[in-house]
Amino acid sequence: MIRYDCLELLVQRMSDQLVITSQSGQRIEWANLSNHEGNLLVGMMGCALGVGMGLAVALPHRKVIVLDSDGSILLSLFNLPTLGNLQPGNLVVFVFDNGVYSGSRISYPTATSGNTDLESMAKAAGIKNAVTLTKLDDFRTKGLGALDRHELAFIVCKVEESLVHRQIDRPTLDLAENKYRFVRYLERTEGRPIPFIGRG
């Protein structure tokens, strides 16, 4: 299973969910598959899950999906106990664990290519519904099935390293442009202003 195949299945399930991506491959591939206004392409490693948690707590009636990576989770392991105690039922976290730091040029092993198991770590942190999926059929049924339940899910997708994200165009959406498009979408769909925007 590769990440892009999973994302191709996921994009077919999108309607009004909010999708937060970390750096790097999942950001590029998701932007290639979806130009939805509810996407927030967080371009920093280790920050997407925190932003997703805050959104999930602030908007408990909206489904929030975080597309993360082993590298980013390993960089922000403190998120796991916080998530295990918060238990936001509207949050689904997909961790695409390819076992490598795979940016635009490099490919170096992460701890998960050694002895580290993110599902076990998540469970030990209090995230009961943590699973590892290795087959695309399981992603289709168990992975996407999490979108239909009101329960925190932490789904580790063990994927082969692929180079799709190096072969497709990188998104041109600027960080600030993406942020404003995202909050305007929320203002429209929530029917109320986002306070920090204010008036000029």
Contacts with another protein, residue ranges (CB under 8 A) = 20, 40, 42-44, 46-47, 49-59, 76, 78-79, 81-82, 85-86, 175-176, 179, 182-183, 186, 190, 192, 194-196, 198
Please spell the DSSP secondary structure of 56-124, one letter per residue.
HHH-TTS-EEEEEEHHHHHHTTTHHHHHHHH--TTEEEEEEE-SEE--SS--EE-GGGTT--HHHHHHH
Identify which of residues 125 and 159 has a Cβ nearer to another protein in the complex. Answer: 125
Residue labelled with tokens 């998530």: 83
Identify which of residues 94 and 139 has a Cβ nearer to another protein in the complex. Answer: 94
Identify which of residues 114 and 198 has a Cβ nearer to another protein in the complex. Answer: 198
Would you put residue 126 in left (φ > 0), alpha (ψ -120 to 50) or beta? left
* Distance of closest approach, residue 95 Cβ to another protein, in angstroms: 16
* Distance of closest approach, residue 186 Cβ to another protein, in angstroms: 7
Identify which of residues 4 and 154 has a Cβ nearer to another protein in the complex. Answer: 154
Q: How many CB atoms lie within 10 A of CB 96?
A: 26
* Distance of closest approach, residue 184 Cβ to another protein, in angstroms: 11
The pair of structure tokens assigned to 21 is: 């991506």
* Distance of closest approach, residue 161 Cβ to another protein, in angstroms: 25
Distance CA 171, CA 103 (A): 15
Identify which of residues 126 and 164 has a Cβ nearer to another protein in the complex. Answer: 126
* Distance of closest approach, residue 193 Cβ to another protein, in angstroms: 8
Q: Check residue 187 and report its DSSP letter.
A: H
